[in-house]
Structure 1
């Protein structure tokens, strides 16, 4: 049992953080380089969006399964196996690159990469309350979030330099090494685990566990359903627009280099890091009832991104504007995600936490593949500034709708 006086950075939590730094850096550098390589080789935003949408589907589908496994299997073992598996996946992709058709090979690799990540994150999320006391949940979530965003900062910046100078293959070897080293480090983590009997076969166990989490959400915490709807709407109308739109805007509309795109996406990581630091410092003073204002501010930053892409704006000024808005939107997103995660963790029984977190992640993200495919087609047919301004307007409406939802969730803490 942990107490509020116990230090957060004890051995096992520190090893989780260190393993996350290495693993997520490898993930970030690959998620930057692989889609960029596809966009550079094909020159098609529609194909770029379609492959990105296909890659996101396994992440949505694997998250609930990962939540079930996280509640029944030692979470340390899940992290180790999945990191070793990812290293093997990247090795296979490296050997096949140039020997197999690019588009199906890239789609298969990204789908597997995202699917593994979808199954991996519930184990990390479910381990946090086991390694940190109740009073440390917000700070512990902020630390994990800062690790994610630090990797998102360094991955694109270093990836952009390596990609521009040496091409894709060095990035593949770096990513492979990161996953292998992370798996080795995670072998030494000790996470408390209480085995639970399986309910028959694998499918029946998954069905029973997901049914258990659904009944808890529907009967005990129906506000979680409203939260999922808000997040799904935002992923559909805004997050998907930025995932597709930022590379298209920087590379194709503004004509910038790969290293400039790396700096822009690195600015997003820096924004997430700053948002995590801000959240860790403010801690319990942050309240979810202000979540709608945060989402509205994120919508305004997307509108600003569209404004700097208007005809007549110099490309250099446009790049600085897109980069600044990318930083700002990640500050806001991180503030909301950390506080929301802590609220859900604090209102969910420990034996359901992995499943419930995975259930929320899956439902919230289910709209992202649709959004990415739609925005890929829109960016190919319409001016980028018009697409981003339209996305910002739709996101602002979703932010207004979310006000009651966040107030209700905040009241249940």
Structure 2
């Protein structure tokens, strides 16, 4: 008999994840506002922010090894407990004169913890769900993440605006609320029962790392080359799509179209909501849409980007161009969300339980590398070819079509 998607273990998992994700977005956004106020320097702010991207790139593979060799439930509890401790440290750091240095160190610590958290959660879902429920499960987790990313910054902005940097005691209250979110998540996660996976013990940690990483690459290159190809294709997709919109939206709206920051904020809200809608749709069509049809979604995105390129050539009014851009962005984010959920689920279904942590950490590390490269790449393109934006759209459209074409065979075998 097929088990329900919302079983006891998964309910505790998503409640814990909701509390943890909300606390994370609230803490990071509040910290970024505080850092910007304390430094009044875009350069310093950019450097501190960029530092936070580095730990997952290097530590995610080790996080996957730990996830496969440890009790996943206890690891979740420990990681959220560490998040909570760091939030408490942020509270106390505001009382010292070298507050900026302390905040930077703690933010790096948070990034280190996140390097271990993602592989643990992603490798736990297949152990508490039947394979037929994986798409719905990943869709639910994706929706929680989207909601946290929408509501966390909004609430952080409202609260921070109310207290401001002049009232650090008020910021301490926000950080205290984040700590409560993390400790609450740890409590809920204590009720999860995750089957244990037994791996052969290795006394030397360095040998364990070497052996586990070697096994992972052998598995991907020899036994599941289509999983390996799917991961690489998804990294190429992330490099192209997300920076095209996230880097391009503020540039096109504020600089090219010369429209207000309010319209820029609205575009971000619409596209964030589109990602949430995509997660809902993925859950609804889980048993109807097949993984081997994912390339259709890439072609939809490719066509949408090409259409916007044509719009840019027509020299329409700024407001009409903005409306079309937002509509196309919504289509792209819905399609990207659905594709991402189905790809993630297909990878999980084709990986043995005792390797889930390592393979999912490799997946996270590749995406973590691709995203900042894409941001730098499109930042250069938008700045260098400001008078030829249509060419950027057509280039990206062709590249996305190429990924869809190459992926057609790959997704068929997943």
Per-residue deviation, 1:137? 1.5
Matched, 1:32 2:29: yes
1:39-118 paired onto structure 2 within 5 Å: 49-97=46-94, 99-100=97-98, 102=100, 107-118=104-115
Matched, 1:283 2:305: no
Secondary structure of the residue aligned to 1:188 is: coil
Give TM-score, length-normalised by structure 1: 0.82
Whose radius of gyration is greater, 1 or 2?
2
Residues 301, 45 of structure 1: CA spacing in aligned structure 2 closer, same or farther, 3 A cutoff?
farther
* Number of equivalent positions: 402
Distance 2:6 2:129 in 1: 9
Query: 2:372 maps to what in 1?
Result: 369
Matched, 1:337 2:336: no
Matched, 1:142 2:142: no
Matched, 1:8 2:5: yes
Distance 1:274 1:34 in 2: 28
Distance 2:33 2:388 in 1: 20
Is the CA contact (8 Å cut-off) linking 1:122 and 1:358 kept in structure 2?
yes
Where does the alignment leave 5 or more consecutive residues of structure 2 unmatched?
A: 166-170
Is the CA contact (8 Å cut-off) linking 2:235 and 2:366 kept in structure 1?
yes
Distance 2:412 2:45 in 1: 42
Residues 220, 338 of structure 1: CA spacing in aligned structure 2 closer, same or farther, 3 A cutoff?
same
Across the aligned residues of Structure 1 and Structure 2, the Cα RMSD in angstroms comes to: 3.6
145, 153, 176: which one pairs with 1:173?
A: 176
189, 197, 202: which one pairs with 1:186?
A: 189
Is the CA contact (8 Å cut-off) linking 1:80 and 1:183 kept in structure 2?
yes
Secondary structure of the residue aligned to 1:283 is: coil
Query: 1:406 maps to what in 2?
Result: 407
Per-residue deviation, 1:340? 0.4
Give TM-score, length-normalised by structure 2: 0.82
Residues 67, 57 of structure 1: CA spacing in aligned structure 2 closer, same or farther, 3 A cutoff?
same
Secondary structure of the residue aligned to 2:127 is: helix
Distance 1:391 1:303 in 2: 12
Is the CA contact (8 Å cut-off) linking 1:50 and 1:373 kept in structure 2?
no
Query: 2:363 maps to what in 1?
Result: 360
Residues 268, 63 of structure 1: CA spacing in aligned structure 2 closer, same or farther, 3 A cutoff?
farther
Residues 33, 329 of structure 1: CA spacing in aligned structure 2 closer, same or farther, 3 A cutoff?
farther
Is the CA contact (8 Å cut-off) linking 1:275 and 1:332 kept in structure 2?
yes
Residues 117, 248 of structure 1: CA spacing in aligned structure 2 closer, same or farther, 3 A cutoff?
farther
Distance 2:46 2:307 in 1: 21
Is the CA contact (8 Å cut-off) linking 2:238 and 2:370 kept in structure 1?
yes
Secondary structure of the residue aligned to 1:348 is: coil
